[in-house]
A and B are shown apart, each in its own frame.
Chain A
Amino acid sequence: MQSDEMLLLTVVAEAILEDILIDEVRRQGAAGYTVTDTRGWGKHGKRRGNWRQGGNIKLEVVGSAELCDRIARQFKEQYEADYGLLMFTTPVTLKN
């Protein structure tokens, strides 16, 4: 079975940013992404997720370390100052 070592970039951000972040992920050349609606609490207060203005999304991208780094750097530069944004990477093994 083929096994590729990759990184999973997870971005938790305000739901309003969904389309903008996805555009950027695609522009950077990611092969795909997954988005889920989420809720939680953090520096930007409680995000209840019961309506769009108060909801978060979790955007996940699997790619090379270089791609994940490029995307994360871009997001940090453009959105960290004004929006709720949390990003982290985890090593993953791609099985297909």
Chain B
Amino acid sequence: MAFDPVVLFFLLGAIAGLAKSDLKIPMAIYEALSIYLLLAIGLHGGVKLAESELVPLILPGLAVLAVGSLIPLLAFPVLRWLGRMPRADSASIAAHYGSVSVVTFSVAVAFLAARGIDYEGHMVVFLVLLEMPALVIGILLARMGSKGPVQWGKTMHEVFFGKSIFLLAGGLVIGFVAGPELMDPLEPMFFDLFKGVLALFLLEMGLVASSRIAEVRQYGVFLVVFAIVMPVVSAVLGILLGWGLGMSLGGTLLLATLYASASYIAAPAAMRIAVPKANPALSIGASLGVTFPFNIFLGVPLYFWMAQWLYSLGG
């Protein structure tokens, strides 16, 4: 099986981390790379969105949100009762898995680009919208049966004005307002360099993930199995919904990837503030140490294969 070279950068970073290499990406560069990726994804979606009709997107958008909200509700009882995990941890992990990962989405976008497969521009709108509901559901699940106030103001500020949503939505609006022609001069910077920057970012993610793998191991087989099975179940929901809504094959793969991905930027920040009793090592360890590598190496090709199979049946 030939892997996309960008995901091999993740492997390189993970090996460097495990081998205790002195390789370190300075925090300022990590920040710059993530700002670039968020803006590039947002702009790209905005430009594509400018070329499509908006009104017909409302109902599919609601359906995507509704199914997306089911994911944390499915994950929570599994973690709580099958995994016998404390309520706060179950709720926090459920929120991470219901929310989405921009970088996993970017890898799926690169996967499609390498195969010359197009997708709907509004997938980026779904990416922005899907980040939030799971976090609110996770906080509510954690709150049921516990005392003490939730810092809603601070938490919502983290969600809406944390850089991930802010830059994604900002890029989306700029790309949408400008349209394809005015965006043309920015293309070399934001579109042509995208894969190279993604590769560098994945190198750093490999380094970070390698430090998380050991933490997940401490919490046993259950969490590792959950971190692999849950994304596949969520992806199946995405494939069925994408197919049902008449999306393109590329759009369906991206929806499946969004559902399958687990957040490790917005969710950890929001949950750390809103559910302080939850152990962040568990949720970040599972999402970044297991689910993220699973998705970029095996998940995305698997979801693509499943979607292709379904589309071949449906004609």
Residues of A within 8 A of B (CB): 14, 16, 19-20, 37, 45-46, 48-55, 79, 81-83
Complex CA distance for A49 and B27, rounded to whole angstroms = 7
**A53 and B272 in contact (CB under 8 A), knowing A19-B154, A45-B281?**
yes
Give the interface segment out of B76-84, B107-115, B203-211, B232-240: B203-211
Can you report 20 residue pairs joining A to B where beta carbons are below 8 Å apart?
A: A14-B272, A16-B269, A20-B151, A20-B273, A48-B208, A50-B24, A50-B25, A50-B30, A50-B207, A50-B208, A51-B27, A51-B30, A52-B269, A53-B265, A53-B269, A53-B280, A54-B208, A55-B27, A79-B276, A82-B277
**Alpha-carbon distance A19/B159, docked complex (angstroms):** 14
- The docked-state distance in angstroms from the alpha carbon of A53 to that of B30 is 13
Which residues of A lie under 8 Å from residue B154 when comparing CB positions?
19-20
**Residue from A20, A49, A53, A82 within 8 A of B268 (CB atoms):** A53
Given A48-B211, A82-B276: 18 more A-B contacts, CB < 8 Å: A16-B273, A20-B154, A20-B273, A45-B281, A48-B208, A50-B24, A50-B207, A50-B208, A51-B204, A53-B268, A53-B269, A53-B272, A53-B280, A54-B208, A54-B211, A55-B27, A79-B276, A81-B276
How many A-B residue contacts, CB cutoff 8 Å? 42
* Cβ–Cβ < 8 Å partners of B27 in chain A: 37, 49-51, 55
